[in-house]
Amino acid sequence: MLRNNRRLSSIFLIVFIDLLGFGLILPLLPYYAETFGATDFEVGLLVAVYAAAQFVGTPLLGRLSDRVGRRPVLLISIAGNLVGFVLLALAQSLEMLFVARILAGFTGGNISVAQAYISDVTDARSRARGLGLIGAAFGLGFIIGPALGGLLSQWGFAVPALGAAALSLINFLLVVAWLPESLTAQARQDARERPPLTLRAMVEALRKPLVGPLLHTRFFFALAFSMFQTIFALYALRRFDLGARETGYILAYVGLLSVLVQGVAVGKLAQRFEERTLILASTALMALSLIGWALAPSVPVLLLILAPTALSGGVLNTVINSAISKTVAPIEVGGTLGIASALEALTRILSPAVGSLLLANLGTWAPGVFSGVLLLWLTTYVWRYVYRAPLSLEFQRQPVVKVTPEQ
């Protein structure tokens, strides 16, 4: 238990530093791009290519980690992030910014590898709690990173990028010094005997009777929740005339709630309720919350509505990864979680375009109502294909085979 706690703490710190570096430069990218004469379309494209590169890279990194181990893939991905941040700091043109973001996006999809590591060193009962720690680290990085990036930007936009590169270097050294491999040589050999991950394999995963419905749920939930995340600043400006500072405070409030949910509440809820029950309840609660977000008449009411939004998002995003990891064989965990993360990355390409189109043409209520109605439909899908399925977690019914990490 003590050894596992140390490994969980190490992964928490690694993911936190990873996301801290990402958060440092994310809010500054539009301003950095404008120094090279970027148009609004090019700024949007700069954000989109990162998500597109993640869509390609994340499942490949996840499957590679099944074959060669979690530790080397974490090292490769962190090194790629380091190079991407250095290129960003040294950029002399808009084209170099795009190269830097594509590289960072392709190698930055290591969250699925971290999730797979957690799956390796936890049993079915404690897995949701372990994955919740990753979600908490993710949220903390997003809360602290933008504020620190804004502080460093007073000395130039290259400085936050260099700060992110320094954090990546620290992360690389942490993995080298602290993190043992979690897969045995036999587990890696078994994974290498499986066919490589292809687009066809991804489509087949979506058709599987156990994992397929969970991946579909992951996609449509992320599509709705990403629309809230990507459109919220514009929504706040148009509906309540809030400035960047006030909007930042609200998003930090949501981020803090998410950290508390994933770091504290998820573990307790997962011990009391079945994961399929939590998935169903979270989907229904998020549907109602997003409709409430769309129709909120004032900022105080909005703050009340955002509490169940953070609760449902934090619970589902953690529990569904735990459930997915239990529907496949251990040698497929990394690749399958990579597919789930890739689907989420795809929503970050689609959601800003759809959400901004709805807001511009119909009004500030439209993105929330659209997302809420989508999730009401998804609730019926989850009820039929996840909640009422003969308990989806096929491998959970079998004896848990603990993988002894190599030293």
- Contact assessment for residue 4 and residue 182, using Cβ atoms and an 8 Å cutoff: no
In the chain, where the domains are located: 1-181, 202-397
Tell me the fold of 1-181.
Growth Hormone; Chain: A; (1.20.1250)
Round the CA-based radius of gyration of the chain to a whole number and report it. Answer: 20
Instruction: Pick the closest to residue 331 from 75, 67, 59 (CA basis).
Output: 67
Question: What are the tokens at 281?
Answer: 């309840």
183: which DSSP letter?
S
Give the residues of the chain that fall short of pLDDT 50: 1-2, 391-407
CA distance 100 to 88: 6
Q: Among all chains, which residue has been given the structure tokens 């509440």? A: 265
198: exposed, middle or buried (Cβ count in 10 Å: 0-12, 13-18, 19+): exposed
What's the pLDDT at 296?
A: 92
Alpha helices by DSSP H, 69-157? 70-90, 94-107, 111-121, 127-152
Half-sphere exposure of 156 (CA within 13 A, CB side): 9
What's the pLDDT at 248?
A: 67
Q: Which residues of 306-315 are buried (b: 16+ CB within 10 A; e: fewer)?
A: bebbbbbbbb
What's the pLDDT at 374?
A: 96
CA distance 331 to 329: 5
Topology agreement, domain 1-181 and domain 202-397: yes
Q: Is the whole-model pTM more than 0.95?
A: no
Instruction: Pick the closest to residue 402 from 123, 166, 161 (CA basis).
Output: 123
277: exposed, middle or buried (Cβ count in 10 Å: 0-12, 13-18, 19+): middle
* Planar angle of CA 50, 51, 57, nearest 5 degrees: 90
CA distance 80 to 103: 7
Return the percent helix, strand and coil in the chain, to nearest 5.
85, 0, 15
- Contact assessment for residue 66 and residue 190, using Cβ atoms and an 8 Å cutoff: no
What's the pLDDT at 244?
A: 59
Secondary structure (3-state) at 340 = helix
327: which DSSP letter?
S
Instruction: Pick the closest to residue 221 from 283, 277, 292 (CA basis).
Output: 283
CATH architecture of 202-397: Up-down Bundle (1.20)
CA distance 228 to 295: 13
pLDDT (tens digit, 9 = 90+) per residue, 110-153? 777 887 888 777 776 677 777 777 777 777 776 777 777 777 77
